[in-house]
Structure 1
């Protein structure tokens, strides 16, 4: 466990060095990715999606590093480059819960648009664990958006706009939980993108 603690301390120090905003935008640091791989090699839970381990998996997890950004931050980075105006990502997190033997996932982000205020974006879906209890097929069935500080006013909140995804339009993607302990989780997307979450 000492090796895990040392590697985690090194990883979070590296992430802190590049800064909160940059760490979730499309930006890959080979030294960070190398530390993540070393941590994956000492994963204390080889089957993180097994029923015995779900109590360690469920809950709220904040995203602190994404090696190639996320579906939210990649377009934001592109729009910022085109517009020349920064769109601020205040927080990205994932809430996981168990529902009917599936894992319900709610990916959420708080973004700040210049002049327009702060908005909460959400993608709701489920993980269907694979037999190895480490990988899961992920499918999102609804997206929501809500202005929570419209025009920068903290007391101006607009109704939530929820857009269901029709069943024939839903795509599945492979998600691997490659490391899990009591306060740190590492995931890999289908193209090998690395994601680091903490409680």
Structure 2
């Protein structure tokens, strides 16, 4: 399928959205639809992602013909914090050839912009964790290195963020659009 065909199919899917305001509970109260929560694999991004559009990522994609070099496993986990905030954890595995593979992530909170479907995503921390090198997996007990970039409870005006509209969500698929019109299709990862 071409990009234009995929975009047309996603637009038709969005018209069938069973949850028009996923940033509210089914009763219409503040909260989130349980359908948003879970682990999601990125299947399609109409114009790439913030991660894949960076110069280092473009270099990796260009060099991905080499063994062990590339970008893989782009995922997003949506969960509720102890305070009820919707937390997004976005990760991707970067392969750097002989330097190994590293899981790099950003974490932040979604804040409802007021319409029940548009969120301001404010990123609070960056994490880096080795996945493996020289054909050996890194031990699971190795913790990620986490760097805070702000606080979940702060006002967030100076933090890095993005506007995000969830235009379709059901138990298997989720479609979202960024402020620039970029369309993202996620597939729910099956429970393990």
Q: TM-score, normalised by structure 1?
A: 0.78
SS, match of residue 191 in structure 1? coil
- How far is the alpha carbon of 1:155 from its aligned partner? 4.3
1:193 aligns to 2:182 (yes or no): yes
Report matched runs for 1:73-84 at 5 Å.
73-75=52-54, 76-80=56-60
Q: Taking structure 1 as reference, are residues 155 and 170 closer, same or farther at Cα in structure 2, changes over 3 Å only?
A: closer
Question: What residue ranges of structure 2 are gaps of 5+ in the alignment?
Answer: 27-31, 152-156
The answer on whether the counterparts of 2:76 and 2:90 sit within 8 Å (CA) in structure 1 is yes
Question: What residue ranges of structure 1 are gaps of 5+ in the alignment?
Answer: 1-13, 15-27
- How far is the alpha carbon of 1:101 from its aligned partner? 3.3
Determine the structure 2 residue equivalent to 1:33: 7
How many Å separate the matches in 2 of 1:83 and 1:92?
Answer: 18
How many Å separate the matches in 1 of 2:129 and 2:94?
Answer: 11
How many residues are aligned here?
Answer: 173
Larger helix share, 1 or 2: 1
Aligned alpha-carbon RMSD (Å): 2.3
1:136 aligns to 2:119 (yes or no): yes
1:91 aligns to 2:67 (yes or no): no
- How far is the alpha carbon of 1:150 from its aligned partner? 2.8
Q: C-alpha deviations, 1:31-67, integer Å up to 9, x for none?
A: 1111111111111111111122521110101110011
The answer on whether the counterparts of 2:57 and 2:71 sit within 8 Å (CA) in structure 1 is no
The answer on whether the counterparts of 1:102 and 1:129 sit within 8 Å (CA) in structure 2 is no
Q: C-alpha deviations, 1:67-103, integer Å up to 9, x for none?
A: 1111222235521476585532221111111222321
Higher mean C-alpha displacement, 83-92 vs 34-43: 83-92
Q: Taking structure 1 as reference, are residues 32 and 166 closer, same or farther at Cα in structure 2, changes over 3 Å only?
A: same
How many Å separate the matches in 2 of 1:84 and 1:173?
Answer: 28
Q: Taking structure 1 as reference, are residues 171 and 77 closer, same or farther at Cα in structure 2, changes over 3 Å only?
A: closer
Determine the structure 2 residue equivalent to 1:118: 101
